[in-house]
Amino acid sequence: GQQVMQIPQYQHVQEGEDFTTYCNSSTTLSNIQWYKQRPGGHPVFLIQLVKSGEVKKQKRLTFQFGEAKKNSSLHITATQTTDVGTYFCAADSNYQLIWGAGTKLIIKP
Amino acid sequence: EAQVTQNPRYLITVTGKKLTVTCSQNMNHEYMSWYRQDPGLGLRQIYYSMNVEVTDKGDVPEGYKVSRKEKRNFPLILESPSPNQTSLYFCASSPLGGPSNQPQHFGDGTRLSIL
């Protein structure tokens, strides 16, 4: 079945550094969603990308959907402690969401 | 307040003892879903329901049952739990059309430990 590969599994950054997570699929995606899960919490919807080459911004977060609609990325500029958590991508597949394994953002003390 | 409510939040039980995790949403959503979350594996869908009396298997349905007799409720049933079902479980809902073009709203999760 369809799979979505998400890398890296973890990223350790100093506060103020940037963070990026990537999702890749071997098949063309109709759309992709991004969620954030805080430690001990539940996934919370961030954004959905639908169009080829789409770029959306939410304050310090930039989301991109590849031209071929097979990959997507989330970039956070100047991380803050409130950004800590795990970021998931999820791709639509016949009324189901296929989830990436997530990237955990860890702020170094 | 719009929400998805799961109960219990935590449960420790023994192999073979039937259990039910309840899920209720107050947003009049047609689509509901159950996921399990295990370290390094992301979220895997167990079952989903497009509407009342309509349920379908997700990626990991073995050992689980669901029912959708009312729009707001979507219980998850483990008839004979086994230790490999120890996990964190999430219920989610979304409006008509499901997650294809709508965000999913998640409950707070149920942490199950099967001894």
Of A43-52, B82-91, B92-101, least confident by mean pLDDT is B92-101
Beta strands in B14-109 (DSSP E): 19-25, 31-38, 42-51, 54-57, 65-66, 76-78, 87-94, 105-106
Q: Please state the separation of Cα A89 from the chain's center in Å.
A: 5
Q: How far is CA A7 from the centre of its chain?
A: 9
For residue A2, pLDDT beyond 80: no
pLDDT score recorded for residue A84: 97
Whether the predicted pLDDT of B78 surpasses 90? yes
| Strand ranges across the sheet with B4-7 | B4-7, B19-25, B76-78, B65-66
Spatial distance between the Cα atoms of B57 and B60, rounded to a whole number of angstroms: 8
- Closest chain A residue to B90 measured between Cα atoms? A42
Task: Among A6, A95, A100, select the one facing B100 at the smallest CB separation.
Answer: A95
DSSP string, A75-90: EESS--GGG-EEEEEE
CA distance A57 to A43: 19
* Cα–Cα distance measured from residue A69 to residue A25, given in angstroms and rounded to the nearest whole number: 9
The residue-averaged pLDDT of B9-38 equals 96
Between CA B11 and CA B19 the distance in angstroms is 9
CB-based contact B45 A101, cutoff 8 Å: no
Mean pLDDT of A50-68: 97
Whether the predicted pLDDT of B97 surpasses 80 = no
| pLDDT at residue A106 greater than cutoff 90 | yes
Please answer whether residues B39 and B111 qualify as being in contact, where contact means their C-beta atoms are separated by less than 8 angstroms: no
Residue B34 has pLDDT above 90, yes or no: yes
Q: What is the pLDDT averaged over residues B53-80?
A: 96
Task: Examine the pLDDT at A23 and tell me if it is beyond 70.
Answer: yes
For chain A, what percent of residues have pLDDT higher than 70? Answer: 99
Q: What is the maximum alpha-carbon separation in chain A?
A: 43
Residues B42, A31: C-beta atoms closer than 8 Å: no
- Confidence band for B95, pLDDT divided at 50, 70 and 90: confident
A-interface mutation test, from B23, B48, B100, B110, most A Cβ less than 10 A away: B100
**What sign has the CA pseudo-torsion A106, A36, B43, A34?**
negative
pLDDT greater than 80 at residue A94: no
State the best of A4, A10, A42, A87 to mutate against chain B, taking most chain B CBs within 10 Å: A42
Would you state the pLDDT for residue A96? 81
Tell me the DSSP string of A8-25. -SEEEE-TTS-EEEEEEE
Query: Sign of the C-alpha dihedral, residues B1, B29, A90, B90?
Result: positive
Q: Are B49 and B71 in contact (CB under 8 A)?
A: no
CA distance A19 to A86: 12
Average pLDDT, chain B: 94
| Average pLDDT of the segment spanning A56-67 | 97
A77 pLDDT tier (thresholds 50, 70, 90): very high
Q: What percent of chain B has pLDDT over 70?
A: 100
Residue A1 is predicted with a pLDDT of 67
| pLDDT tens column, A30-40 | 999 999 999 99
**Per-residue confidence at B39, pLDDT binned at 50, 70, 90?**
confident
